[in-house]
Amino acid sequence: MTIDITMWPWAAYILFPLNVAFAAVVIFLERRDPGATWAWLMVLFFIPFLGFILYLVFGQNLSRSRLFDWEDKKKVGIEEQISHQKKAIKEGVYPFANPHTQENSKLVYMMLSHNDAVLSEDNSVYIYTDGTEKFESLMHDIRQAKDHIHIQYYIFRLDGLGKKLIDLLTEKARDGVEVCILYDDMGSRKLRRRHFKGLIEAGGVVEIFFPSRIPFFNLRLNYRNHRKIVVIDGQIGYVGGFNVGDEYLGKDPSFGYWRDTHLRIEGSAVHALQTRFILDWNQASRRHDFMYEERLFPPPAVKGDAAMQIVTSGPDSEWEQIKSGYIKLIMTAKKSIYIQTPYFIPDASILDALRIAALSGIDVKVMIPNKPDHMFVYWATYSYAGELMKAGAKIYIYDDGFIHAKTIVVDEKLSSVGTANIDVRSFRLNFEVNAFMYDYANGRKLAKSFMHDMLVSYELTPELYKQRSKVIKFKESISRLLSPIL
C-alpha cells in the first residue's frame, strides 16, 4: 500500500479551517479562564485535529450540568438551617458559640450562600497525620458499626490494606450492617466490581463514579471524584487526604513515609458529610438510590465545641467554592499563613492573595514535597514557589518522604483540611470536599504539626533556587505554560 503525498496539502486545507472552527466554537463559547483558553489553543495549534480529540476527553465543561440531586434533601433540614443561619448572620443576631467563628461571619455567610455549607458548632475533632494511626482508628470504628458504613475514596487499591478493609467490610455486611462503597473509576482504574464479589454476596453494594461506558475510552476522564469520605452510623465521619493503599502506610519505597492529614469528626458536621456521600452515591447509582431515613441522620451522640462547615466544589458548579474559601482565609490573616500541599499551582487570584499577604509582613510559609508523583505538576510547583519567594514567603521542602496533606492554617485559629490541593485541577476539574474549621484548639494542633514537619524539611532559599540548572529551568517553563490544564 502506498500513500499519495499529493493528498497532504488537501488534508491541510481541510484540517486548518476545522481546527479554527474547533477553537472558536468549542473553546471561546465555553467562556473559560483566559489561561486555560490559551493553553488549549496551543494544544489545538500544535496538534491539529488530535488536539480536538484531547479536548473532548480532557476539556469538557460540566458547569452547565446538574449532576447531583436528591429530592429528599429537604427532609434532612439543611435548607431550613441555611435560611435561618443566613438571615440571623445578616441581621447580626446569630448566637455564635465562639468568638473565632463570629469574627469570620463573612466567610461563614459566603459558604452558606454559595455552597449550602451549614455551620455546626458542636463537633469533636481528632487530627491524624499518620496513615497507620488513621486506618487503625477507621478499622476500629468499622468494627463497632451497628447500622451502616458508607465509604467513598478516590483511590482504592487491592493491596494489603485494601484487602484487609474489604474483608472487614464483608464481615460487617454478613452481620447485617449496610455497607456501601463508592470509588472513582480513574483513581481506582485497576479495580473492578468483581473484586468485591464476596462483599456483594454478603449484602454489600459497590458503585463507580463516572465509569467508562466504552472500553479504554472515557469522555469524562478529566473530571474525577477526588473526595474521601467515610460515615459510620451517621455518628462518625472521616475526611481528608488519605486514600486506601499500602503507600499511604509508607510501604512504597519510591515515596517513603507518607505524610498526610485526615480528620475524624463527631457532631452535627457528620450530617453534612452524609448528605455529600448520598448525593455522590445517587449520581453514580441507578439501582440503589438513597431515600431519607432518620437512621442516616441521628442526633449526635458525642458533642464537642469545634465549629466548622463542610464545603464541597466541582466542575458542575458555577463558583469555585473551595478556592474562594482559601482566598477569604488568606485575606483574614493578621499574623501567619501556613500551607501544606503536594501540588502548588495557584491561579492568579490565589497567587496575588498570598503575595500581598507576604508583602504586608504576614508570615507566609508553604511546604511542598521533595519528590514528584506527577512530573509536570512537580516542576510547575517549583516555578510558582520560586515566584512567591520573591515576595518574602518562605518555602519548605519536606524531606522525610512524601507530603500529601492539603491544609491551610491562618493565625493558628482558622484552618481548612480536606481533599483540595492548591491547583487548577482541584479548583475547577475535580469534585472535592474540605472542612473549614473556626477553632483555636485544632488550629493550634495543625500549626504545631507544621512546625514539627519543618524539622524534617529544608528551606528553599533564593540562593538555592538560583542554582538550578538550565534543564530544570526549561522544565519549569514548559510545565508552568501547561499549568492551566494540568
Residues annotated as part of the active site: 226, 228, 233, 404, 406, 411
Helix ranges restricted to H, 225-362:
269-284, 321-332, 348-359
The helix or strand, by DSSP H or E, that contains position 162, with its residue range, turns out to be: helix 160-174
Give 27's contacts (C-beta < 8 A, 6+ positions apart).
37, 40, 41, 44, 55, 59
Strand ranges for 217-360 from DSSP E? 229-232, 236-240, 258-266, 306-313, 336-340
User: 451 phi and psi, to 5 degrees?
Assistant: -65, -35
Per the CB < 8 A criterion, the answer to whether 223 and 315 are in contact is yes
Q: Measure the CA–CA gap between 221 and 396, rounded to whole angstroms.
A: 33
Q: Measure the CA–CA gap between 68 and 281, rounded to whole angstroms.
A: 9
Distances (CA, A) of 123 to 17, 126, 211, 442: 59, 10, 35, 11
The string over 351-370, giving b where at least 16 C-beta atoms fall within 10 Å of a residue's C-beta and e elsewhere, is bebbbebbeeebebbbbbbb
Cell numbers for 465: 533556587
Comparing C-alpha atoms, which of 380, 266, 254, 406 is closest to residue 326? Answer: 406
Comparing C-alpha atoms, which of 191, 126, 127, 199 is closest to residue 154? Answer: 191
